[in-house]
Amino acid sequence: MKAIEVAIIGGGPAGSATALSLIKHAFADEKQSIQVTQVCGPNSLRDAIGETIPPAATVELRKLGVSDLLSSDHHLPCPGSHSVWGNEAPGFNDFFFTPIGKGYHLNRRVFNEQLRSAAQDQGVNLLIDAKLTGMSKNKEGYSLSIEQGAELCHRRADFIVDATGIQAKIARALGVARNQYDTVVSACHIFDLAEQPNQPAHTLVCAVDTGWWYGTQLPNRKVLISFCTDKETLKASQINTAEVWFEKLNQSGWFIENCVSQFGMTINCPDAIDSRVSPSAILSCVIGDHWLAVGDAASSYDSMTSAGITKALAQGVEAGAAIASWLIAGNKHQLASYQQNVFDAFNQYLKLHQELYGAEQRFSNEGFWRRRLFSIQ
């Protein structure tokens, strides 16, 4: 019997979670052979910025059978967050009282590698430092051209998974529209520490007139400080230049004071600022003829939610099960249910987006906050 070939394009958490889930459900059927190949692009230091995940992410990792990877020394437990949002009084969100698990500050590169290794251990064929260079549709699925180093290989795929992030390369190549509701930009820098702080690694968040600040410890003696705003504010203020960014940081009051106290460091003006875009967007459809989109390729959220990885894992868990059900039993209902759940979750996210930005009324006449209140109504 010819094996069913599934190609997952993307080496991040969404792609790896889909691979792990698909293999798990495929193994349950001994009559059908499913071969899974995950195409992982070249590692980029810029992509490995780190991220904080809430306790809900550990639930999804547990479903995939890989929750133990967070217990390694590579990741830093996060006890919760301290924030100034909506009024001058700091608020607290502690994870200690959550029974489902812990939050973590991730070493993002290591986390991605751990998930890929776990998938490989379960039989997934990993193509590292590879990229999809061509794709054509045929009666049975797709013909793929994959470049790995100096070699170009051609593969068939009965089913293809788009896990390429916000670029949604597969879906866009197939002509699927991406609906964008809002976009914020994070101007950030990662600082090195002489030693890991003794203070609990709370996330720090603070709203100001032109956006909001975010600060967090990362593993391996690093600190991420980020200013979230939009392109209109960036253009007007040039806050993505190091000098302006640093001046704005020193005017942040509570935020800069708590950064210095928690991180135990003197914060100097960085050499450069890195800018990253966080769109609130969703595909017009996330399933189609022998394909499916997952993670940020399917739907992407504002960075304020810290839900990107949790969403990627949850969608991967469901996507893998739905793909297996269709390939093995011809059941399209789970694929349709997956799409509906992605749409429903995005609608819930839009409500949360409005609630969070609407809760900050101190700066409601400022451009950044005014645009957030009306951007997706």
User: pLDDT tens-digit profile of 264-320?
Assistant: 989 999 999 999 999 999 999 999 999 999 999 999 999 888 889 999 999 999 999
161 vs 222, which has greater pLDDT? 161
- Look up residue 364 and give its two tokens: 């409601």
What is the torsion angle, in degrees rounded to the nearest 10, for the CA atoms of residue 169, residue 175, residue 179 and residue 182? 40
Most confident of 15-24, 103-112, 149-158: 15-24
DSSP line for 162-222: E--GGG-HHHHHTT--EEEEEEEEEEEEEEE-SS--SS---EEEEEETTEEEEEEEETTTE
40 vs 26, which has greater pLDDT? 40
Confidence grade of residue 357 (pLDDT, cut at 50, 70, 90): very high
Confidence (pLDDT) at 337: 98
Confidence (pLDDT) at 51: 82
Taking alpha carbons only, the member of 105, 158, 192 closest to residue 323 is: 158
State the Cα–Cα distance between residues 22 and 149, nearest whole angstrom. Answer: 27
331 vs 322, which has greater pLDDT? 322
Residue entry with tokens 């249910």: 337
pLDDT in tens, 229-266: 999 999 898 898 999 999 999 999 999 999 999 999 89
Q: Are 187 and 240 in contact (CB under 8 A)?
A: yes
State the Cα–Cα distance between residues 89 and 147, nearest whole angstrom. Answer: 54
Confidence (pLDDT) at 196: 80
Residue 10: left if φ>0, alpha if ψ -120 to 50, beta else—which one? Answer: left
Share of the chain above pLDDT 90, in %: 75
Confidence (pLDDT) at 45: 45
Computed over every residue of the chain, the mean pLDDT equals 91
Mean pLDDT along residues 332-353: 96
pLDDT in tens, 177-214: 999 999 999 999 999 998 888 888 899 999 999 999 99
Q: Are 39 and 339 in contact (CB under 8 A)?
A: no
State the Cα–Cα distance between residues 187 and 110, nearest whole angstrom. Answer: 23
Confidence (pLDDT) at 332: 93
What is the torsion angle, in degrees rounded to the nearest 10, for the CA atoms of residue 110, residue 112, residue 114 and residue 118? -170
In this structure, how many other beta carbons lie within 10 angstroms of the beta carbon of residue 220? 13
pLDDT in tens, 46-78: 555 668 898 899 999 999 999 899 987 889 988
Gap between the terminal Cα atoms of the chain: 53
